[in-house]
Structure 1
Amino acid sequence: MVERAAREPGLRAALFPLPGPLRFLLLSSFLIPLGSFMVLPFMSVFLHERLGMGLGTVGVILAVASLVQFSGGIVGGALADRIGLRRTMLWALVVRTAGFAGLLLALRWPPLAVGALVLTCCGAALYLPANKAYLVHGVDDERRPAFLSAGNAALNAGMAVGPLIAGPFVLSSPGFLFAAVTALFIAVTAGHLRLPATEGQHATKPGETARPGPLTGVAILPFAANALAFYLYFHFQHFLAVYAVEHASSAFYSMVLLLCFTLVIVVQPLASGLIRRMPYALALTVGFTGLAAGLALLAAGNRTALLVGGALITLGDIVLFLKNDLEALRRSSRSDAVVFGQQRLAAGLGACASGVLGGQLYVLSEHTGNTGWFWLLAAAQCLLLPPLLLVLRRRAAQLPVPDGDHEGALTR
């Protein structure tokens, strides 16, 4: 075990030397969420304040958009499997650029805003599975966590910086903001034209002779664990803003988010090798325990609890989200793009369920006069629901392995 650890590359050795196409892809992984998060976090304010839509309507629009953005990844993975990674990324960026241009036009014709928002989410759904698969194409198993975590760090950095840049312009100069983001996406799309094509190189894994459906060969346990992790994490993502503003301030809520983004950017790349070596059962235990501790701590409602609770939740999701992706790649016989698409579908189902069920729980806790109960109930779910994965694991292990599929793609 010691010898094996000594042979494994450190973070720097795993990533470098980095070829030019991958350097550009990592830069794009920062620029794309940077542009997106200059707009998307403020859409509720923009639709309600600027375009005059009711909050009920805005909520439905954002719920549909979120479901499309996450669950549409299954389509993105299947498309990449058919036409190749670079072509899929290009089409995705064209769609997303059209969406941001549509938001600019919506300033003159407001009904166009809904279709434009959905277009941006469709583009995101198509892009991310192909992006992740291109990033790890040809990379050996020991180096994959470093590349995936570097991509996640770039993505989170863009998500953190985007709102800081755009905040002053959302209501005062939205036309300038939408035009700038559209121009950014045009430039990023042009850059993707120069990426080497990957068609025919890894659209399918060895042994795949036909193109099965997008859900064929799904790695059941990582899929279910990912859905559950996103369901529990999105209690924090969906409802912390309301809770934090009530108990602290909107400025302090921004500080909590900045801390969470910073932890992902710094900790996940450094811990990627450790997470890869960690047994899957241990990773699930550590991750869900971190979520439970952080959610329970939020119930205290003070500023220290918000900061420490947010940090624990983020550390838990760092382990869960990366390990579930790595396990899905290891256990499935499908192409990388399809696997990432399947995991995005799981994330979308979990996030959607969190919005629906979590919203009802939050309303109930408000009726009791103490919204801290919402976080305690969420924490309890972190402890009570994960053991169901063990039942799923046992049942999956009893399924027959198809001939020639020694990885047990449908079962493990």
Structure 2
Amino acid sequence: MGTALRGRSRALGRFGALTGTARLLVLSQLLFNIGFFLVLPYLAGHLADDLGLAGWLVGLVLGVRTFSQQGMFAVGGVLTDRFGAKPLILAGCLVRAAGFGVLAAATALPTVLCGVMLVGFAGALFSPAAEASLAREAGPDARADTFAIRSMAGEVGTVIGPLLGVVLSASFPATCVIGAVLFVLIALLHLRFLPRRPGEHRDEGIFDGWREVFGNRAFLLFAAGYSAYLVSYNQLYLGLPAELHRVGAPDQVLGLLFALASALVVFGQLPTTGLARRLLGRDRALVVGFSVLALAFGVVALRPPGLVGATAFVVLLIFGQMLVVPFAMELVPMLAGDRRLGAHFGVLASAGGVAVLVGSTASGALLEHGRVAWLLLGLLPLAGACVMAFAGRRRAHLS
């Protein structure tokens, strides 16, 4: 208990040391996730039970939602560089509110698709803007810790959102309306308190940003390696349920393991980041993080009895995530030369979205082949570790 309290005290202390704008952007991640997870966990059930859509149509709707967000991050990024973060964050909040409003009224597939596309595109507008703005606000020396705090805040929102949905016990349309109102309030909060800073590349063409990013070979190499993390993390939603089904675990276990994952991030992110900074440094921490991700898959492939494999998978996967994400976010502005941060963060997320789309399709087929699938899936983060090691040595040589 004392350790947990000290961890929370340190987190609050570091949060208090942030600038006012950085604190707002961290709070934004908490509120974004509360509003998002208030609605989205219940979408599939609504589509199947209330609207009577077939299973493949439910999957199509969820896929369209993911692609309309991840695939469009690169667009939101270049718009951030052109117009500044504040207009994109405000627009994203209002578009998501509109998307939830459409979902609340939707009774047929075309309207549902329109709603989920708006919900997804909204994230593509405000997420790169928030990440780029937070990276600039934190400065080079505090970026890893600041993004670690942001990860903690996001996980808290991920837990609160579904719980709030349970507490409200409202119908799905009513929950959508509540989510829409919340995002309007978030927009008003940013309208009042987020400083308006003009886009740093406002006098340049939209496509100039993409040309610069795709001409940055060091960044593209890093983005390819980082995509391995995103595909690996996505196995929480695909591989983990398959493993639980294999061992005959009850449905409630999945929720408990998700709660464990969130608790690990909330209480372990800052200590892990600080310890990795002292003992490993950024580049080694990235390599070790990807190696831990690979180990998570290897443990499941060994087929330990009962729930041991699934639990170890979650713990190792989240530990790898805590090592990788803050230092990866810290590295993006460095690779970008502190230029066009919106475009770089956006392309990074879009590259990951494409990788997840392809990787999920492949892993869905692989998981039918038992332990061989887990070994093959573990090769992906192992390749990511090799990419990070090579890129780190290349940076050290060039410097």
Normalization by structure 2: what TM-score?
A: 0.85
**Distance of aligned partners of 1:325 and 1:19 in 2 relative to their CA distance in 1, 3 Å threshold:** closer
Query: Aligned-pair distance for 1:197?
Result: 3.0
Matched residues, number: 380
- Answer yes or no: is 1:162 the counterpart of 2:166: no
Q: Does 1:354 align with 2:359?
A: yes
1:315 corresponds in structure 2 to 319
Amino acid at match of 2:251: S
Change (3 A) 1:204 1:16: farther
Unaligned runs of at least 5 residues, structure 2: 1-9
Selected match of 1:199 from 197, 203, 220: 197
Is the CA contact 1:73–1:341 (under 8 Å) kept in the aligned structure 2? yes
Question: What do residues 176-214 of structure 1 show as CA deviations (whole Å, max 9, x unaligned)?
Answer: 2112111111111111111243323x6259xx9776233
CA offsets 1:95-121 (integer angstroms, 9 cap, x no match) = 111000111111x45531111011101
Please give the root-mean-square deviation of Cα atoms over the aligned residues, in Å.
Answer: 3.0
Confirm or deny that 1:253 pairs with 2:254.
Answer: yes
How far apart are 1:354 and its partner, in Å? 1.8
Q: Which residue of 2 aligns with 1:55?
A: 55
Q: Distance in 2 between matches of 1:112 and 1:209?
A: 37
Q: Unaligned stretches of 5+ in structure 1?
A: 1-9, 366-370, 398-406
Paired residue secondary structure (1:115): helix
- Matched residue, 1:25: 25
In structure 2, the CA distance between the partners of 1:18 and 1:230, relative to structure 1 (3 Å rule), is closer
Cα deviation for residue 92 of structure 1 reads 0.7
**Which structure: greater helix fraction?**
2
- 1:38 is displaced (CA, Å) by 1.7
Alignment of 1:169-180 (within 5 A): 173-180=171-178
Q: CA separation in 1, counterparts of 2:379 and 2:252?
A: 29
CA distance 1:185–1:12, shift in 2 (3 Å): closer
Displacement of 1:384 in angstroms is: 5.0
Quick one: distance in 2 between partners of 1:30 and 1:387?
33
1:261-410 → structure 2 map (5 Å cutoff): 261-275=262-276, 278-299=280-301, 300=303, 302-333=306-337, 334-363=339-368, 365=369, 371-383=370-382, 386-387=385-386
Residue in structure 2 matched with residue 149 of structure 1 by the alignment: 148
Distance 1:329 1:274, change over 3 A: farther
- Displacement after TM superposition at 1:12 (Å): 6.2
Identity among equivalent pairs (%)? 24
Q: Distance in 2 between matches of 1:39 and 1:45?
A: 11
The answer to whether the 8 Å contact 1:235/1:378 transfers is: no
Equivalent AA in structure 2 for residue 190 of structure 1: L
1:243 equivalent to 2:239? Answer no
Query: Residues 306-350 of structure 1, C-alpha deviation per residue, up to 9 Å, x if partnerless?
Result: 222201011112212222222221111323222221221122122
In structure 2, relative to structure 1, the CA distance for the partners of 1:263 and 1:73 (3 Å cut) is: same
C-alpha separation in 1, matches of 2:282 and 2:144: 14
The answer for the alignment partner of 2:5 in structure 1 is: none
Please name the residue that 1:43 is paired with: 43
Question: 8 Å contact 2:70–2:352 — kept in the other structure?
Answer: yes
Question: Are 1:226 and 1:321, in contact at CA under 8 Å, matched by a contact in 2?
Answer: no
Measured in 1, the distance between the counterparts of 2:43 and 2:242 equals 16
